[in-house]
Amino acid sequence: MSIIEVEGLSKVFGKNTKQALKLLGEGKTKEEILKLTGSTVGVNRASFSVEEGEIFVIMGLSGSGKSTLVRLLNRLIDPTEGKVYIDGENLAAMNKKDLRRVRRTKMSMVFQNFALFPYLTVLDNAAYGLEIQGVDKAERHKKAKESLEMVGLGGYIEQVPSQLSGGMQQRVGLARALANDPEVMLMDEAFSALDPLIRKEMQDELLDLQETMKKTIIFITHDLDEALRIGDKIALMKDGSIVQVGTPEEILVNPANDYVKKFVQDVDRSKVLTAFNIMKRPETINIDKHGPRVALERMKEEGISSIYVTDGKRNLKGYVTADDASVAFKAEVKSLVNILKTDAPTVTKDTLMNAIFEISHNSPVPIPVVEDGKLLGIIVRGAVISALAGQSEVNRNYA
Amino acid sequence: MLNFMENIPELPLASLVSDFTDWISDTFVFLFDPLKNEFADGLESFADVLAAVPPPIVILIVAVLAFFISGKRFGLAAFSLIGLLLVWNQGLWEELMLSFTLVLVASILSIIIGVPIGILMSKSKTAEGIITPILDFMQTMPAFVYLIPAVAFFSIGMVPGIFASLIFATPPTVRFTNLGIRQVSKELVEASEAFGSTGSQKLFKVELPMAKPTIMAGINQTVMLSLSMVVIASMIGAPGLGREVLSSLQRADVGTGFVAGLGIVILAIIIDRFTQSFTGQKRARS
């Protein structure tokens, strides 16, 4: 079930919000509306849903409205129009008391510049969310300590934030968000203020934590690599509108329009495309039916020097080379069993391109893509290189 | 051409203000009378108590406090020791205590009044728009002018002195409180709200602690301004070092005037360093 359901959510900053909304409905652009009404469209009729346990990335350049959008989700900014359902409750129409309850128990937030309280210790910072709920001191310190330990800061609880490095400060921010055990975590450019190495480390850590926590995370970023790396789903924003929502692969492989295409063209595709995207249908022969003669003929037809061998159920048995087949044929051997080679390295359909690149470099034969012992396809070295270069058509019928 | 001004009668502004002041002093007499009697008595006895403590003890306490407050350095402690001994030596101890009482009470009242008004200003644009010009008015009107209604309400003595000082010295606390809260980083306020803080939790757990250094700077200004009222308030009979200055002015007695003035300077420096040290400490921690 979707934990968050956003319907037609809009935010207009300025005075003539009603008129601006009407103009939006007529399909006017952000600039036109600014000229006509003097109001700025922050978010334009965004609709999407987020599944439980998912990392949902909202990505866009600065000014695209992504930070406004995330603030509409916990109503740090009041929406002009639209609905935000969290666990079936419409946040946009809630009174203050209910809103506080939702903020205290269901969602927490991590900020770009950490937003730690400089006059509190790390422990009290992490306990802040519990403190304002009125949890007594011993209990909230216990929970805060647990969440600090989860992010690897168990030994720093008595420090004040200014004594910590940026990465450590953001861990405190993360621990603070985890301490009141929310269902949804909103992370607003949480790693953007960190240097690249620390950022990557934090991304890994977030993914590790997510393995055990299974929170629903809404992650805002302007960094496409980051989005592709951690996102289960990505929503791409431009001028306040959501341009495309999809898995990282969908965004890369099947961009909805030219804007998305342009956005993704510089991306390091090796980190996103998988074996599935570049494999092709294999030529095979059946070990039970065929002998060296058929193998040789097939290879000759296809102009290849080796061929994969399966059984009747497409289970991969190995491969034979043209040389071996021709020797066996001359020796009048009927079966392929004796010349079958099984030393080809295999990959699964989810293996990333950069891993395949390494393997294909050392493999004498095309790489078989295998799932549950069955041969799904093969990857020839040329396909790896052309996919990396972004030139080839890649498979769009993802599972 | 310019004669048209002659056709407009002079507006009775002065008499309006006078009438208004009379009305206030008549209407709120039930409030002013106990203030000028009981409150004045309280102040006198407080000053008496201070003066009754043997000066060496007070001087020693102040010097030791100064030592710790200034981060275990001797500068301020030595200054306090020598300065206060000098005041004592010059026979101005009782006057010093009276002036200190006036400053202390005026400052505390200024803070009690000023901080909440500052908070109100920071929370509401309307309030800010209304209060800011009033503060400008209060600060730019010559301080002597406040003495007149002060006398009308509270006759003469320490109470009207404190009243005049309140009007003159409260604005910095109000302004700095407003500024301090408005300067709290937006993200911190958002963080506080995102975790479900109520308005008062936000104020007391985030905004006021963050604004504390700025508010303390404002309070320091307020204290200094009320100290500067010590001399002016002596014109309406407020006792203390100011009265010494005033009487030596009337007698053209340079020497006595200088000594009393020096007493005020010594008091000012000690109070200033003491209040500033609170600001500084918080800054260092944050």
Q: What is the pLDDT of residue A394?
A: 58
Instruction: Using alpha carbons, select from B91, B192, B30 the residue that is nearest to residue A119.
Output: B192
Task: Label each residue of B126-152 as H, E or C.
Answer: HHHHHHHHHHHHHHHCCHHHHHHHHHH
Q: What is the pLDDT of residue A270?
A: 73
User: Which of A132, A147, A169, A178 has the most B C-beta neighbours within 10 Å, making it the best mutation to test the interface with B?
Assistant: A132
Q: CA-to-CA distance for A169 and B105, rounded, in angstroms?
A: 43
Question: Low-confidence residues of chain A, pLDDT below 50?
Answer: 396-399
Q: CA-to-CA distance for B137 and A391, rounded, in angstroms?
A: 73
**Cα four-point dihedral sign B155, B158, B164, B170:** negative
User: What are residue A251's phi and psi, to 5 degrees?
Assistant: -65, -45
Distances (CA, A) of B4 to B8, B9, B12: 7, 10, 18
Q: What is the pLDDT of residue A314?
A: 85
Say if CB B96 and CB B241 are below 8 A apart: yes
The β-bridge relationship of strands A89-90 and A107-110 is: unpaired
Residue A131 touches chain B, beta carbons under 8 Å: yes
- Note whether A133 contacts B185, CB cutoff 8 Å: no
What's the mean pLDDT in B231-256? 89
Torsion of CA B199, B203, B206, B212, to 10 degrees: 170
Q: CA-to-CA distance for A252 and A224, rounded, in angstroms?
A: 10
Side chain identity, residue B191 = A
> Residues of B at the A interface (Cβ-Cβ below 8 Å)?
185, 187-188, 190-198, 201, 205-206, 209-210, 282, 285-286
Nearest C-alpha of chain B: how many angstroms from A132? 6
Question: pLDDT-based confidence at B1, cuts 50/70/90?
Answer: low
User: Which of A100, A102, A140, A186 has the most B C-beta neighbours within 10 Å, making it the best mutation to test the interface with B?
Assistant: A100
Which residue among B194, B206, B285 places its CB closest to the CB of A108?
A: B194
**pLDDT above 60: residue B105:** yes
Which residue among B190, B201, B286 places its CB closest to the CB of A132?
A: B201
Which positions in chain B touch A108 (Cβ < 8 Å)? 194-195
pTM for the whole structure: 0.77
Continuous H helices in chain A? 17-25, 30-37, 66-73, 96-105, 122-126, 128-131, 137-150, 166-179, 196-213, 224-230, 248-253, 258-264, 275-278, 292-302, 322-330, 353-362, 381-388
Query: Could you tell me which chain A residue has the CA closest to the CA of B201?
Result: A132
Q: Which one has a higher pLDDT value, A344 or B86?
A: B86
What's the mean pLDDT in B205-210? 94
Say if CB B198 and CB B110 are below 8 A apart: no
Each residue's pLDDT tens digit, B115-166: 999 999 999 999 999 999 999 998 888 888 888 888 888 888 888 889 899 9
Lookup result for tokens 């009482």:
B101
How many A×B Cβ pairs under 8 Å?
69
Nearest C-alpha of chain B: how many angstroms from A129? 5
Say if CB A366 and CB A278 are below 8 A apart: no
Q: Given strand A89-90, what is the order of strands in its sheet?
A: A40-51, A2-13, A81-86, A89-90
Which positions in chain B touch A76 (Cβ < 8 Å)? 190, 193-194
Tell me, what's the ipTM? 0.76
Side chain identity, residue B160 = P
Query: Could you tell me which chain B residue has the CA closest to the CA of A127?
Result: B195
Q: CA-to-CA distance for B204 and B207, rounded, in angstroms?
A: 6
Out of A256-270, A280-294, B22-36, B219-233, which region has the weakest mean confidence (pLDDT)? A256-270
- Note whether B205 contacts A131, CB cutoff 8 Å: yes
The β-bridge partners of A41 are A12
Q: CA-to-CA distance for A98 and A102, rounded, in angstroms?
A: 6
- Two structure tokens written together for B222: 């307020």
Nearest C-alpha of chain A: how many angstroms from B184? 11
The β-bridge relationship of strands A241-246 and A233-238 is: antiparallel
User: What are residue A398's phi and psi, to 5 degrees?
Assistant: -70, 155
Say if CB B230 and CB B241 are below 8 A apart: yes
Which positions in chain A touch B194 (Cβ < 8 Å)? 74, 76, 103, 107-109, 186
Q: CA-to-CA distance for A187 and A215, rounded, in angstroms?
A: 12
Q: What is the pLDDT of residue A196?
A: 84
Which positions in chain B touch A101 (Cβ < 8 Å)? 196
- Note whether A115 contacts B188, CB cutoff 8 Å: yes
